[in-house]
Amino acid sequence: MAAWSGWPITLFLLIPVGTAVYGRVRDSSSVHPINPARDGQRVLTCCSAAHLAELQQHYRRRPFVNEELWAMKIDRAMRQHSHRLTNEQLIRETGLNLIQLEASATWRYRRHYDIPKSAGEQ
């Protein structure tokens, strides 16, 4: 049994060694713990090509939401510090701009309180 230990979980794979099938999909809820170049990509480990295809189809149907990705980038930056970060520090740490910081905060607020977008919003 192979084990992968990474933030925030440890995953035990019940796939015989040498038989796993791997793929990568776009996923706005996924950020890499240390490599921002891999943000928005989720690595999949599957027991068969058919299962990989099923998961890839699932992620194709899931919308890629930029504001969600930005919120995840902010979360990663906050986890790396023991104190609150200013907007200027968040901009430097995440590579986002102030408009993106505000959009991610609005997205998170609306999602938490289940508030729909108003007419005309994208």
Q: Are residues 8 and 57 in the same domain?
A: yes
CB 25 within 8 A of CB 44: yes
Question: Do the domain assignments include residue 118?
Answer: no
Is the pLDDT at 12 greater than 70? The verdict is no
Range of the domain at 98: 66-113
Q: Are residues 6 and 52 in the same domain?
A: yes
How far, in Å, CA of 109 to CA of 105, rounded? Answer: 6
Tally of structural domains, the chain:
2
Q: Are residues 38 and 21 in the same domain?
A: yes
Residue 58 one-letter amino acid: H
Q: Are residues 6 and 25 in the same domain?
A: yes
Question: Do the domain assignments include residue 122?
Answer: no
How far, in Å, CA of 28 to CA of 30, rounded? Answer: 6
**Tens digit of each residue's pLDDT (9 = 90 or more) over 42-89:** 999 999 999 999 999 999 999 999 999 999 999 999 999 989 999 999
**Please, which residues bridge with residue 16 across strands?**
none
**Tens digit of each residue's pLDDT (9 = 90 or more) over 113-122:** 887 776 556 5
